[in-house]
Amino acid sequence: MSPSQVSRIERGLAPSVSHRQTALIGAVVGLDVRARTYPSGDPIRDAAQVALLDRLRPRLDPRLKLATETPLAIVGDLRAWDGMISGLSGSAGRTMTVEGETRIADWQAVDRRLALKQRDADEPHLLLVVADTRHNRAAIAAAGVAVLTRFPVTARRALASLAAGRHPGGSALIFL
């Protein structure tokens, strides 16, 4: 590469630059050049999940707060809870973590991901909000007793408790 070409690239004046050219320039100054790709289109890639959590809000006691995208309190961990309900009364705690699933393709993968987050964040209770579709109901039904064991509080009891501002007392799965 000629010095004038390198100069044009550095000043942003080159009409096109290949990844190879960028990597060569980076190598000369001791840098690794990496490329990443990002989806285009709607900037809110999880719009369906946002809508799902928005369907939960009116079912909560007005005194409760539902914060979204709440990071796990672990230094360096980039995971976040989809939501965190705070202001709850009851002996089970003042907060409850919330996860939203718009389409369940593999219950075991969802269960494993949730269990790891709960373990790492030391969160004993979880509210799993699942989009109410025929597909999701079939996926949950196919999981059978595993779901009942993991989420012992019924949806009816959980929603009644949250509407009254109380902690449901355990983990629950609700369809919305």
Distance CA 162, CA 60 (A): 5
What is the amino acid identity at position 18?
Answer: S
pLDDT (0 to 100) of residue 45:
65
What pLDDT, in 10s, does the model give residues 27-62? Answer: 988 888 888 776 666 565 688 899 999 999 999 999
Judge contact between 69 and 82, C-beta under 8 A.
yes
Please state whether beta strands 172-175 and 126-130 pair in parallel, antiparallel, or not at all (unpaired).
parallel
Strand 95-101 relative to strand 80-86: parallel, antiparallel, unpaired?
A: antiparallel
CA separation for the pair 103, 17 (Å, rounded): 40
What is the residue-averaged pLDDT of the chain? Answer: 92
Residues 75-86 pLDDT 10s = 888 899 999 999
pLDDT by 10s per residue, the chain, length 176: 899 998 988 888 988 999 899 999 989 888 888 887 766 665 656 888 999 999 999 999 999 999 999 999 888 888 999 999 999 998 888 999 999 999 999 999 999 999 999 999 999 999 999 999 999 999 999 999 999 999 999 999 999 999 999 999 999 999 99
Q: How far is CA 167 from the centre of its chain?
A: 22
Helix (H) or strand (E) holding 128: strand 126-130
3-state secondary structure of 71: strand
Residues 165, 96: Cα–Cα separation, whole Å = 11
